[in-house]
Amino acid sequence: MSINSINILTIAGIVMTNLLTGASGANAADSALQTTIVNSAQLYDPTSSGYSHAVVATGFTHIAYIAGQGGEDKTGALSTQFEQQLKQAYRNLHSALVSVNATPAQVTKITTYVVDYDPSMLVLMTRYAKQLFGDTLPAQTLVPVSRLALDGMLFEVDAVAVLRVPAQ
């Protein structure tokens, strides 16, 4: 194994090292996704809130940026209920991931936007995040906002996913 570079990543006082090898062609395409969830002991444990402080992904070189997914269904209809929009937004996110041949386990970062956020909403948000991501909780930022793109839209989630290298 030849080593092309050594990456050192420091997050919240934890140093992680990743050796990048000179794999190419079929060997590079066969590289498995390796995600390491990093929740420093120096920070609050975010697991019960449905996210991780940091996620390091190796073994892939393509990245998909998933645009904000709101609670509208395929026809554009938007429920007036926060929980229904939340549920539909995560369904929409899953559909967008499938469209780029990704799974929820390949998502490394999400950003959620909530109109008139109240901490009591976090219970529902956590439930639906955990339903989609299971134990592979991505890093997450929650942004309270006064308004989103569509009238009546209450929730939106965007994502970053790492993709498998296509076979050559």
Task: Give me the average pLDDT of each 10-residue run along the chain (168 residues).
Answer: 38 38 40 74 78 73 87 93 97 92 93 97 96 94 96 96 73
Residue 142: Cβ-neighbour burial (10 angstroms; 0-12, 13-18, 19+): middle
**In the chain, where are the structural domains located?**
3-163
pTM over 0.75? The answer is no
CATH of 3-163, one of 3.50.50.60, 2.60.120.10, 3.30.1330.40, 3.90.550.10: 3.30.1330.40
**Residues 101 and 163 sit within 8 Å (Cβ to Cβ):** yes
Residue 49: the pLDDT is 72
Residue 126: the pLDDT is 96
Residue 60: the pLDDT is 59
Q: Where are the alpha helices (DSSP H) in the chain?
A: 26-29, 82-99, 122-133
Residue 68 DSSP SS3:
strand
**Residues 107 and 159 sit within 8 Å (Cβ to Cβ):** yes
- Distance (Å, whole) CA 162 – CA 59: 9
Strand partners, 114: 144, 155
pLDDT in tens, 125-150: 999 999 999 999 999 999 999 999 99
Q: How far is CA 163 from the centre of its chain?
A: 12
- Distance (Å, whole) CA 85 – CA 72: 7
Please give the full DSSP string across 107-121, using - where no structure is assigned: EEEEEEEEET--GGG
Q: 92-127 as b/e, with b when 16 or more CB fall inside 10 Å?
A: bbbebbeeeebebbbbbbbbbbbbebeeebbeebbe
Tokens of 123: 């219970």
